Amino acid sequence: MFPYLNDIEEIEQKTRTGKRTVYFCFNYNSFQEIESAMLRSLEKKDFFVNHLDIVCPVNLLIRTGGANVLSGFLLPQLANARLYFSEKLFNDYTTEDFEKCINEYMRSELKYGV
């Protein structure tokens, strides 16, 4: 069993009843997501954004492990997202670490288009 699975379940449970939703993306590939969404949109004759794995815009991206690049991650969804980079590895993250990120985001002033 993954050592952080309980923390993930706790965070997901906390966000189910609120206005915000937390998504955890493991082994994610934006090119596969976009290709798959494009194929589904052609079948349904609909805009491809409606068929992405995560349809809604992302407000906060937490990038762990010391990498300060997006690596093509959730490209269409991150247009106005706040980015939080952490040296700490994901496996070492705790509920308190996620709450710290979210609290920092909540204190930030949102300026769209700036």
pLDDT per residue as tens digits for the range 1-43: 566 677 777 777 777 676 767 777 777 788 888 899 999 999 9
Q: What is the pLDDT of residue 39?
A: 93
In a domain, 113, yes or no: no
In a domain, 79, yes or no: yes
In a domain, 33, yes or no: no
In a domain, 102, yes or no: yes
pLDDT band at residue 46, thresholds of 50, 70 and 90?
Answer: confident
In a domain, 88, yes or no: yes
Instruction: Please give the model's pTM, rounded to 2 decimal places.
Output: 0.70
- Of 5, 11, 34, the residue nearest 23 (C-alpha): 11
In a domain, 81, yes or no: yes
Please give the residue range of the domain that contains residue 103. Answer: 5-24+56-107
Count: domains in the chain: 1
In a domain, 38, yes or no: no
- Of 68, 53, 67, the residue nearest 23 (C-alpha): 53
Burial class (CB in 10 A: 0-12, 13-18, 19+), 109: exposed
In a domain, 35, yes or no: no
pLDDT band at residue 76, thresholds of 50, 70 and 90?
Answer: confident
> What is the distance between the alpha carbons of residues 32 and 35, in angstroms, rounded to a whole number?
5
> What is the distance between the alpha carbons of residues 62 and 85, in angstroms, rounded to a whole number?
6
Mean model confidence pLDDT for the chain? 81
